[in-house]
Chain A
């Protein structure tokens, strides 16, 4: 009896293990089989009756333009949609494993994967007519970091911009700058001090914790991370101009900004500070506009042009692109959707839901109110301030070598742990060592 029990237990365990192994190993084979069996694929006409797997970075919310477009396309073509949600941070670590295991979705909505791993994605020049698109957007959002290939088509096009609390400005007796008469960065810091004192806000100025936001200051003052050096680049992130910019930024954090945010000791979001009426001016981006319009009721907000530095104004554009993994199961189906989306009538409808600057020439978003029209015009104008130095930095693909270390260096300088000079020198050394580029300073 005892032996029988032992045998039964061992046999049961073996069966369970075998089943679990089979369950783990069998999934891809099953999917492949399903994909092959799904009918309707035709080289001549549109593909029907298949499932398009789309990887997105967040749960679709209200005004889900991409989701709406996918649904409409699905109804028109008779294909199914399956959405996979993986956060931006997780995409970074999970995508290489997905690529290794050849377990790719058919379409990815991403801010960086197609640029970081261009060899894993389809070249979009063979999918859509690239001349119909805003070339800056294609270059910054769609182009690979390491080649000229356009591996993604922007479905979301954003620009950095500045929001302000109109009530706080009025209380402090400060007039907002205009496109024709922008402030300088020094004026912004000075006015932020006045707003903090008299504008009924805790902080005069707040900025997203993103190196892309900080870099606006750097480019405005004529700085850059790298400079072209023949066919290569040299590291210039620790130039005297950049050290001066960071020193001033650290000072601003001590005087008029919520220092804990940039010092890296909290996960507080400066956007919430602005929405709660605790910050007078916010450096963030156009993607916040619609949320602000619906959520802010305590005060009136506005959009103001970015201040000038010693070299002029600057802005950083960015966004999310639709990219097609080359090893996806339904590459042709994904191409079909992208082509459909960027047909003028479909994209115009998409843009009215997305409510943001357009990536296609000749198609623009038309806001409902005059206030929104004016403010969108300011944001659209910001895209003209993209500097050549930013383009050179982007072309260098410096983020392939070092990325988070830059923001961490800035944080350590703001926290007072190291000096701005040490922070930038340390990052310059690290970038130079990783990239093999010489140091300019």
Chain B
């Protein structure tokens, strides 16, 4: 009887702690998700018009060339940036955990600071730095006798600026993940390797890197998702231009929904993209075995 009462109390406590989170999750995630799926079958304009139109939005999206171009652009942007999202934080983490370097705490702090910035604020700052006419970088280039670069006109340069900004703002966070991973590797392994005559680079590639695979998997997954849904940074830097050359999928969905009042269409695009993202994440899980196997 006492045991049953104890079990009941535990269960009740469990639910009392879980229910607030569950309620928030339901209100801010499940409900919008359900609404979004429902809107995707309507011509909802955000206000008064909302008629059921079946699969029309999906048909329109899947026959829209701009949608495919935007998805392809997003995937290319993601794939091109992923190596940097992993390599730069890993290198920084290896450096700041090195015993032979001084001032690593300061470097850690400096690298982490951009993580605290709002992506939009960071984007606007980068926009100011890379402004074509009055930007700092072009000013400095001109000072040393180099012609100003067309950051705002050349699609490749505009993408490079966004990529640099994206890596700059996220490197600190991923570096911390790697620092945690490196600190968890047993020192004895390095000592044993040292006794066996292994050089530091060999130890890094043969010990550090393989044992960081679970961390790398997390960084890979988070980076992929964040790159696929890059939005605020792009809004701050290029507004998707020149033309539509830096318009990625979230900009496209946002523009359709909030600028063109095609909430139904935007919701359908959101559903399709969510499925695509889930597939990509599943492939990553499969390919890396969840980072669990070295």
List A residues at the B interface (Cβ < 8 Å). Answer: 3, 6, 10, 13, 17, 93, 96, 99-100, 202, 258-260, 263-268, 272-273, 278, 402-405, 408, 411-412, 414-418
Q: Which residues of A contact B9 (CB under 8 A)?
A: 3
Answer whether A260 and B20 are a contact pair too, CB < 8 Å, given A100-B47, A415-B243, A417-B245. Answer: no
Is the CB–CB distance between B133 and A415 below 8 Å?
Answer: no
- Chain B contacts of A268 at CB under 8 A? 131-134, 152
| Beta-carbon contacts under 8 Å, B242-262 to A | 242-245, 255, 258-260
Return chain A residues, CB-CB under 8 Å to B245. 265, 415, 417
Query: Is B241 positioned at the interface, with any CB of A under 8 Å from its CB?
Result: yes
- Report if A10-B243 is in contact (Cβ < 8 Å); known contacts: A96-B46, A266-B131: no
A-B contact pairs, 13 of them (CB 8 A): A258-B133, A260-B132, A263-B152, A263-B153, A263-B242, A266-B131, A267-B127, A267-B239, A402-B260, A411-B242, A411-B243, A415-B242, A418-B243
List 4 A-B pairs, minimum CB-CB distance, nearest first: A264-B241, A415-B243, A265-B242, A417-B243
Given A17-B20, A268-B131, does the pair A260, B242 have CB atoms closer than 8 Å? yes
B261 → chain A closest CB, angstroms = 9
Q: Which residues of A contact B13 (CB under 8 A)?
A: 6, 10
Considering the complex, give the chain A residue whose CB is closest to the CB of B241: A264
In the assembly, what is the distance between CA of A403 and CA of B255, in Å?
A: 12
Which residues of A have CB within 8 Å of B20? 13, 17
Compute how far the CA of A404 lies from the CA of B150 in the bound complex, rounded to whole angstroms.
Answer: 25
Interface string of B12-46 (1 = CB under 8 A from A): 01001100100000000000000000000000001
- Hey, which chain B residues are within 8 Å of A418, CB to CB? 243
Q: Is B270 an interface residue (CB 8 A)?
A: no
Residues from 149 to 191 in B contacting A, C-beta threshold 8 Å:
150-153, 158
- From 217 to 271 in chain B, residues with beta carbon under 8 angstroms from any chain A beta carbon are 238-245, 255, 258-260
Which listed residue (A99, A272, A278, A415) contacts B241, Cβ 8 A? A415
Number of A-B contacts (CB under 8 A): 88
**Which A residues are in CB contact (< 8 Å) with B133?**
202, 258, 260, 266, 268, 273, 278
- A-chain residues with CB within 8 Å of residue B151 when the two chains form the complex: 265
User: Hey, which bits of chain B sit against chain A, CB under 8 A?
Assistant: 9, 13, 16-17, 20, 46-47, 127, 131-134, 150-153, 158, 238-245, 255, 258-260
Bound Cα distance A3, B6 (Å): 11
Report the minimum CB–CB distance from B48 to chain A (whole Å): 8
Q: Assess A408 versus B132: contact at CB under 8 Å? Given A13-B20, A260-B150, A263-B153.
A: no
- Tell me how far the C-beta of A224 lies from the nearest C-beta in chain B, rounded to whole angstroms: 22
Nearest CB of B to A437, in Å:
18
In the assembled complex, the CB of A106 is this many whole angstroms from the nearest CB of chain B, namely: 21
Kindly provide the distance from the CB of B201 to the nearest chain A CB, expressed in whole angstroms.
Answer: 42
Interface of A is mostly: helix
Q: Closest chain B residue to A412 by CB distance?
A: B243
Contact B244 A417 (CB under 8 A): yes
Separation of A163 and B134 alpha carbons in the complex (Å): 22
Choose from A17, A96, A265 the contact partner of B153 (Cβ within 8 Å): A265
Q: In chain A, what residue has the closest Cβ to B23?
A: A17
Contacts of B242 in A (CB 8 A): 260, 263-265, 411, 415, 417
In the bound complex, how far is the Cα of B3 from the Cα of A185, in angstroms?
Answer: 91
Q: Which residue of B is nearest A10, CB measured?
A: B16
Query: Distance (Å) between the CB of B243 and the closest chain A CB?
Result: 3
Contact B16 A260 (CB under 8 A): no
Which A-chain residue is minimally distant from B235 (CB atoms)? Answer: A267
Alpha-carbon separation in the docked complex, A6 to B153 (Å): 61
User: Once the chains are docked, how many angstroms separate the CA of A278 from the CA of B13?
Assistant: 69
Q: Are A96 and B243 in contact (CB under 8 A)?
A: no
CB distance from B254 to the nearest CB of A (A): 11
Min CB distance, B180 to chain A, in Å?
30
Would you give the shortest CB distance from A6 to chain B, in whole angstroms? 5
How many Å from the CB of B120 to the closest CB on chain A? 12
State in angstroms the CA–CA spacing of A23 and B46 once bound together: 27
Residues of B within 8 A of A414 (CB): 243
The listed residue (B47, B158, B241) touching A411 by CB distance below 8 A is B241
How far apart sit A201 and B16, CA to CA, in the bound complex (Å)? 70
Q: Do A404 and B241 contact each other (CB < 8 Å), given the known contacts A6-B13, A17-B20, A100-B47?
A: no
A417 to B65, CA, bound (A): 14
- Distance to closest chain B CB from A246 (angstroms): 14
Residue of A with least CB distance to B150: A260
Q: Which residue of B lies closest to A95 (CB)?
A: B47
Q: In the complex, are the beta carbons of B259 and A404 less than 8 A apart?
A: yes
Given contacts A13-B20, A260-B153, A267-B127, contact A416 B132 (CB under 8 A): no
- Most A CB within 10 A of own CB, among B9, B127, B153: B153
A174 CB to nearest chain B CB (Å): 23
Known: A260-B132, A266-B241. 17 other contacts (CB 8 A): A6-B13, A6-B16, A13-B20, A259-B153, A260-B152, A263-B242, A264-B241, A264-B244, A265-B132, A265-B153, A265-B238, A266-B132, A266-B152, A268-B133, A408-B244, A412-B244, A417-B243
Known contacts A17-B20, A100-B47; decide if A265 and B244 are in contact (CB<8 Å): no
Bound Cα distance from A411 to B153, whole angstroms: 11
Q: How far is the CB of A191 from chain B (nearest CB, A)?
A: 22
CA distance A260 to B258 in the complex (A): 25
